[in-house]
Structure 1
């Protein structure tokens, strides 16, 4: 797949996790600027989803199977928005912890996507 996009998405996810982790450390809930950061990371995962589907449509195959690749793409795409919605329900520091955890999970999913594709 596109290695640079996977790397950028993983790094952005870790930066979002660190940012929200810092907010949680300071006993702050997620704020509007955190949601802007989540939107940027989600946009990166949307681009990755589209690129992955286009590559599959062009006939390229991941090393470890198409089904698991598509499942990980969809999971990566849904990870940060799900954490964002959960943080809206918990307007305390734990909302920030939830988004930080979502960022870490997304970074791990990116590493796994790289492995599945054959990196």
Structure 2
């Protein structure tokens, strides 16, 4: 995997979590700007998904197994969009908490992907 892409995705996910957490602290729901931030983080996760699949297709193998790597890769891809849709259903401060939690979960998944690949 690309270590730089994993690092950038993890950092942007934490920034998104902090931003949405700040909105929750101020008792605000997720707003359009938050969803734009989620789209940026999701785009990075899509790029990571494509890069991971291409690396596997080229014959590179993760140290801890291909199946677990693909499972974590798909989970990282789906994490923030799922949290975003859930925050749409809850248009209170708890929607912001849900989006913040999605960012934290994605950052943790990025660390785990790094470990699975062999970083």
Tell me which residue corresponds to 1:51.
51
1:44 counterpart SS class? helix
TM-score (norm 1): 1.00
Q: Output the CA distance in 1 between the equivalents of 2:94 and 2:79.
A: 17
- Structure 1 gaps of 5+ residues are none
The number of residues matched between the two structures is: 119
Tell me which residue corresponds to 1:90.
90
Tell me which residue corresponds to 2:33.
33
TM-score (norm 2): 1.00
Tell me which residue corresponds to 1:75.
75
Tell me which residue corresponds to 1:108.
108
Q: Output the CA distance in 1 between the equivalents of 2:101 and 2:54.
A: 29
Measured after TM superposition, the shift of residue 21 of structure 1 is 0.1
Residues 16-62 of structure 1 show CA distances to partners (whole Å, capped at 9, x for unaligned) of 00000000000000000000000000000000000000000000000
Tell me which residue corresponds to 1:10.
10
Q: Output the CA distance in 2 between the equivalents of 1:102 and 1:34.
A: 12
- Structure 2 gaps of 5+ residues are none
Q: Output the CA distance in 1 between the equivalents of 2:96 and 2:83.
A: 9
- CA RMSD between the two structures: 0.2
Q: Output the CA distance in 2 between the equivalents of 1:107 and 1:97.
A: 15
